[in-house]
């Protein structure tokens, strides 16, 4: 009977998007029902259709708008901590630390679960991912290319540099955190970053190790 709520929450739409992101990540698109999402957001299933035209659109909005929230953090990864300076690993330590801290964050992990689960089978999800991360990628490539042009890091394809540095972080996030492989549980973020800095990075810097 209660139609319009007496003390309305300030951001119902945001609440729905948050609930949807969590449930889509935890149970998958099909297994997460409108009723569950609505209940988690404090409304009924029918009310979802007041804010979104379909479950599909709600899904896309949840992924897209949460990814958009990450954009400033991602593009700022290369802007803070200073430029790579002659042979020093400090700017890279800062970059890797903040990148890893970001991707192990709770919200990020929810988004990553969805991207890994639905991305490979949904072109529109891949497109959202590509559009939203393109800016971050586009700021990282000149950062690396510039360091190469200045002779601070060896002339290696910046995309390879990216994969070499980011790969170990991704491996830890997927294997340790998402798949919870027992043998990797004791790996700390610090040890991982240190290892990349001590093992991989020297192979990239022009002054060797």
Partner DNA sequence: TCGCTTACTGATTGGTCAATTAGTATATAC
Partner DNA sequence: GTATATACTAATTGACCAATCAGTAAGCGA
CA 10 to chain centre: 27
Q: How many residues bind a second copy (CB under 8 A)?
A: 58
Q: Given the complex with a second copy, which of 91 and 168 has the nearer CB atom? A: 168
Task: For the beta carbon of residue 26, count every other beta carbon within 10 angstroms.
Answer: 13
Q: Which residues contact 47 (CB under 8 A, 6 or more apart)?
A: 38
CB of 95 to a second copy, least distance (A): 16
Site for a second copy in 123-152 (CB under 8 A): 126, 129-130, 133, 137, 141
33 binds, among a second copy, DNA, none (CB under 5 to 8 A by kind): DNA
172-207 CB burial, b ≥16 within 10 A, e <16:
bbeebbeeeeeeeeebebeebbeebbeebbeebbee
Site for a second copy in 91-120 (CB under 8 A): 113, 115-120
Q: How far apart are CA 64 and CA 133, in angstroms?
A: 11
Tell me, what DSSP letter sits at residue 30?
T
Summarize as ranges the residues that interact with DNA (CB under 7 A). Answer: 1-8, 12, 30, 32-35, 38, 43-47, 49-50, 53-56
Summarize as ranges the residues that interact with a second copy (CB under 8 A). Answer: 26-31, 113, 115-121, 126, 129-130, 133, 137, 141, 154, 156-157, 159-160, 163-164, 166-172, 174-175, 178-184, 186-187, 191-192, 195-196, 198-204, 208-209
């Amino acid at each position: 009977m209660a139609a319009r709520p007496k003390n309305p929450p300030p951001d119902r739409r945001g609440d729905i998007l948050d609930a949807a992101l969590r449930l889509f990540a935890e149970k998958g698109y099909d297994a997460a029902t409108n009723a569950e999402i609505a209940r988690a957001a404090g409304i009924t299933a029918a009310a979802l259709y007041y804010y979104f035209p379909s479950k599909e659109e709600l899904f896309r909005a949840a992924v897209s708008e949460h990814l958009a929230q990450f954009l400033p953090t991602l593009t700022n990864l290369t802007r803070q901590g200073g430029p790579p300076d002659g042979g020093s690993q400090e700017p890279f330590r800062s970059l890797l630390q903040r990148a890893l801290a970001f991707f192990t964050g709770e919200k990020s992990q929810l988004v990553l679960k969805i991207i890994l689960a639905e991305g490979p089978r949904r072109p529109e999800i891949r497109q959202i991912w590509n559009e939203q991360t393109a800016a971050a990628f586009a700021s990282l490539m000149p950062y690396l290319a510039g360091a190469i042009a200045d002779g601070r890091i060896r002339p290696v394809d910046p995309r390879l540099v990216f994969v070499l540095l980011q790969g170990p972080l991704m491996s830890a996030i997927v294997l340790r955190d998402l798949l919870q492989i027992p043998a990797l549980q004791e790996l700390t973020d610090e040890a991982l970053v240190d290892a990349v800095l001590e093992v991989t990075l020297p192979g990239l810097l022009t002054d060797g190790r």
